[in-house]
Structure 1
């Protein structure tokens, strides 16, 4: 029997098979290692949804303290990124608090996760997913604190995420630094066709179902949905800018 299956009995005392929730699996995994969060990476499970979730929660808990305090907004954003059923709130809170109390530094978690993911396009995508989620946590209070920015830069360096990809995340999340061309990965002189091509590729690559097939836990689907909203909004903004340029050009043409 796998560790994601449990048995129980119904009202007729007949054994029935139940699938454990993600939060029950996380608690089981952590408990198996006497609540030593770091050792969960040595479980031999590889990077399944449980290990991925533990690593993200551990980094999120560390990030929430990067500006010197854990705010209610940051905890609320964590709950928005993860779908937490009412009956699982106690388990989720326990996991979060265990990760927050863990003494290991965030560099250690980031390195262990990155090493466990290995190499390849899908692994790189999951690293990007983690960093994207951490940006959501950092911006929960509406401010991009220097300590949070350094935290994210450090994690990006460990994950070997290119500077241009980090800049895209900044453009997507940080007020005052948003740029629709950056979000779409386009130069400022891109054409309408360039924008359409980039948008279509991003929509294809970042569809929630695609990310789920690559290993993003279903409980974090809202992260993928938020990214799609950002991509579509950026394309809309770029399209509007192109249309405004055309209108401006028409206005500049003297009447015959």
Structure 2
């Protein structure tokens, strides 16, 4: 049985109650299977953050719902169950800190700049910009989640550069290097980030298959940034 099928079996009995009841039910039902419980808990927490983030600007736009569906590839037969969970979580923004803490705790106590948590932030940005604009309230929401995730300022600025660029994309900011960086070091940095963003790396750190769509977006941003720098250096 798939991850979502098992998750939805639980939700079917609890989705009419508070969302916290769903989380508690997941913990109980999967108590004997720690790895599956970890993946299910990750999915539930991310669904909650996604729904509450979409509500942060006061309106859950259809584009944001579709963006969520792009991140979580959902079998048609299970779509109604996802909708029930998502709609339950999106009623308001309250309580999102608790779900952010749950996800953060999966990276170990006190760990900063955890790669899995960067995956989550990329997913939230993907949803936030789906309606054409990252609203100030949405950015504030994501920044607060990043603080809970212990993502430092420089690391968050690099993530931000991939998604929000009102003055045009800064390829150096995307790669997180100064413009004065020698090209060999730029290439080394690009290769490191590209390796960390490979879907196999995401699987290895426990990200559910349904969440791997973000790897393609991140790789595209890294590839474009490096290509832009390489072209500019060649023409100089």
Compare relative contact order (CA 8 Å, sep 6+) and give the higher one, 1 or 2.
2
Q: Structure 1 residues 219 and 99, CA, compared in 2 at 3 Å: closer, same or farther?
A: same
Aligned to 1:237: 228
Match of 2:190 among 195, 199, 207: 199
Match of 1:228 among 213, 219, 236: 219
Does residue 161 of structure 1 match 2:151?
Answer: yes
TM-score, L = length of structure 1: 0.80
Match of 2:171 among 180, 186, 191: 180
Uncovered stretches (5+) of structure 2, i.e. residues with no partner = none
Aligned to 1:85: 75
Q: Structure 1 residues 22 and 95, CA, compared in 2 at 3 Å: closer, same or farther?
A: farther
Does residue 37 of structure 1 match 2:19?
Answer: yes
Aligned to 2:128: 138
Matches within 5 A, 1:1-256: 19=1, 21-31=2-12, 35-39=17-21, 40=23, 43=27, 44=31, 45=34, 48-101=38-91, 104-119=94-109, 124-177=114-167, 178-245=169-236
Question: In the TM superposition, what is the alpha-carbon distance from 1:157 to its structure 2 partner?
Answer: 0.7
Uncovered stretches (5+) of structure 1, i.e. residues with no partner = 1-18, 246-256
Deviations 1:205-225, CA, capped at 9 Å, x for gaps: 110111111111111111111
Aligned residues of 1:38 and 1:109 also touching (Cα < 8 A): no
Q: Structure 1 residues 112 and 96, CA, compared in 2 at 3 Å: closer, same or farther?
A: same
Q: Structure 1 residues 126 and 62, CA, compared in 2 at 3 Å: closer, same or farther?
A: same
Aligned residues of 1:26 and 1:95 also touching (Cα < 8 A): no
Aligned residues of 1:181 and 1:187 also touching (Cα < 8 A): yes
Partner Cα distance (1:209, 1:54) in 2: 22
Partner Cα distance (1:117, 1:25) in 2: 23
Aligned residues of 1:55 and 1:113 also touching (Cα < 8 A): yes
Partner Cα distance (1:114, 1:30) in 2: 23
Q: Structure 1 residues 206 and 119, CA, compared in 2 at 3 Å: closer, same or farther?
A: farther
Partner Cα distance (1:116, 1:212) in 2: 14
Aligned residues of 2:113 and 2:151 also touching (Cα < 8 A): no
Partner Cα distance (1:121, 1:160) in 2: 7
Number of equivalent positions:
226
Stretch moving more, 32-41 or 71-80: 32-41
Aligned residues of 2:112 and 2:149 also touching (Cα < 8 A): no
Partner Cα distance (1:170, 1:196) in 2: 21
Partner Cα distance (1:123, 1:171) in 2: 16
Aligned residues of 1:77 and 1:136 also touching (Cα < 8 A): yes
TM-score, L = length of structure 2: 0.86
